[in-house]
Amino acid sequence: MLQYIIRRLLQLIPVLLGMTFIVFLIIRAIPGDPAIVILGQQATEEAVAALRETLGLNNPWYVQYFEYLKNLMTGDLGESIRTRTAVNEEIWPYLAATFELSIFAMVIAVFIGVNAGIISAWFRNSWFDYGAMIFALIGVSVPIFWLGLMMQYQFSLQWDWFPTTGRENVRDPVNAITNLYILDTIIQGRFDQTLNVLRHLVMPGVALATIPMAIIARMTRSSMLEVMKSDYIRTARAKGEKMFWIVYKHSLKNAVIPVLTVIGLQTGLLLGGAILTETIFGLPGIGRYIYEAISSRDYPVIQSGILVVAFIFVMINLIVDVLYSIVDPRIRYN
C-alpha cells in the first residue's frame, strides 16, 4: 500500500513541474508589460525600465523560470499587484469559500445521486426509474450558469426563499476563524448564523451539484443493476434477507468504485464550474479571484491561482486513486 502511494507521488513530480512550466509560459504569453501594469500608463520610461530590472524581466526566460521555481519551493507565491499583499496570505479566504461551496455541492450530489441511482435500479423500469433517468439526462446537459440564473429568478426574486447573492448576511458578518463559515459559526455557537450561511449556500450548491448528481445517479444505477444480478445477491435473497438490507448493505459496497471515479473526475469540473457559479451568486471564491485577476492583469495572482487550483485537482485525483486501491486491492497491481 505504502509502496503504491510512494510510486504515485513520484509519478506526480514531472506532472507538477510541467504544470509550473505551462503556467509560466501562459503568463509570459499574455500581452502587456507587467511593469507598466504595476506602475500605470503614466509611468516614465526610466521607471518602467528600472522596475523591469528589479522584477528580473530582462533576464533570459530560463533564468526567470528557475527563479520562479525557487520561490515556489519556499512557498512564495508572489505579491498581488492590485492589493500589494502576498498571494499566499490573501488566497486562503477565497479558497475556503470555494471549498465550502464544493463540499456542500458534492454532499448534495452524492446523497441524492446515489440514492436516486439505487432506487432506480431497485425498481427498474418503474415510473421512478424513468423519471429519475430523464432528469439525469437533462441534468448533464444543463448549462449551470443558466440554471443558476433561473433559480435566482424563481426562488429568490419571485418567492424570496433564499438570498440572491453573497456568502453571509452583510449586516451581521461572520467572525472568520478558518474562513469555512459553517465551521466558524458552529465553533462560536452562533447557530443563527450557521443557518444563514446555509441559506446562502443552497442555490449555488444545488446549481453546482446538478451535473455530478446526474452522472452519479446514472453510474450508480448501472453498476447496481450489474451487482444485483450476481450470485451472492441471489443467495442473500434466497436466505430471505430483507430487500432493503440487500440493496443498502451488500450491493452498495460494490457500487462504490464507479461513484469514486465520478467524484474524482467531477472535482475538476466542480472547480471549473465554481468560476461560473461564483460569478452568478457573487461569492468571493477562488474562481472569482482568478477571473478578476485576469481582467486586471494581476499576473502573480493569475499564475499562483491557476497553479493552486491545478495542484488541488491533481491531489484530489491522487487521493481518489489511493481510495480505489483500498476499496479494490486488485487495482494496485495494474
Partner 1 sequence: MAEPSKISDEIKQEIHDETLPPWKEAWRNFKKNKIAIVGLSIVSFFILVAIFAPWIAPEGINDQKLPERLQSPSAEYWFGTDDFGRDIFSRVIHGARISLWVGFLAVVGSAIVGSTLGIVAGYYGRWVDTIISRLFDIMLAFPSILLAIAVVSILGPSLQNALIAIAIINVPNFGRLIRSKVLSVKEEEYIMAARAIGMSDFRILFSHVLPNSMTPIIVQGSLAVATAIIEAAALGFLGLGAQPPQPEWGAMLSSSREYLIQAPWTMFFPGLAIMLVVLGFNLLGDGLRDALDPKMKT
Residues that bind partner 1 (CB under 8 A): 14-15, 18-19, 22, 26, 29-31, 137-138, 140-143, 145-147, 149-150, 152-153, 157, 219, 222, 258, 268-269, 271-273, 275-276, 279, 287, 290-291, 294, 302, 306, 309-310, 313-314
* 3-class state of residue 297 by DSSP: coil
Nearer Cβ to partner 1 (133/176) = 133
Q: What are the C-alpha distances in Å from 292 to residues 57, 81, 274, 287, 298?
A: 23, 12, 14, 9, 8
CB of 328 to partner 1, least distance (A): 16
Candidates 318, 69, 101, 64; CA nearest to 203 is 101
Nearer Cβ to partner 1 (181/281) = 281
Nearer Cβ to partner 1 (42/334) = 334
66 vs 70: CA distance, rounded Å: 6
For the chain, how far is it from start to end, CA to CA, in angstroms? 13
Which residues contact residue 77 at a Cβ distance below 8 angstroms, ignoring those fewer than 6 apart? 71, 86, 87, 88, 91, 300, 304, 307, 308
CB of 32 to partner 1, least distance (A): 10
- Bridge partners for 79 per DSSP: 86
CB of 145 to partner 1, least distance (A): 5
Nearer Cβ to partner 1 (157/326) = 157
CB of 55 to partner 1, least distance (A): 20
Nearer Cβ to partner 1 (182/270) = 270
CB of 149 to partner 1, least distance (A): 6
Nearer Cβ to partner 1 (149/320) = 149
CB of 314 to partner 1, least distance (A): 5
Candidates 138, 123, 101, 120; CA nearest to 217 is 120
CB of 256 to partner 1, least distance (A): 15
The three grid cell numbers given for residue 245, joined into one nine-digit string = 438490507
Nearer Cβ to partner 1 (250/297) = 297
Nearer Cβ to partner 1 (6/22) = 22
The runs of H, that is alpha helices, within the chain are: 2-29, 34-39, 45-55, 61-73, 87-122, 127-141, 144-151, 181-187, 191-228, 231-238, 243-245, 252-254, 256-280, 286-295, 299-327
161 vs 192: CA distance, rounded Å: 16
Question: Are 305 and 88 a contacting pair, CB within 8 Å?
Answer: no
Which residues contact residue 42 at a Cβ distance below 8 angstroms, ignoring those fewer than 6 apart? none
CB of 26 to partner 1, least distance (A): 5
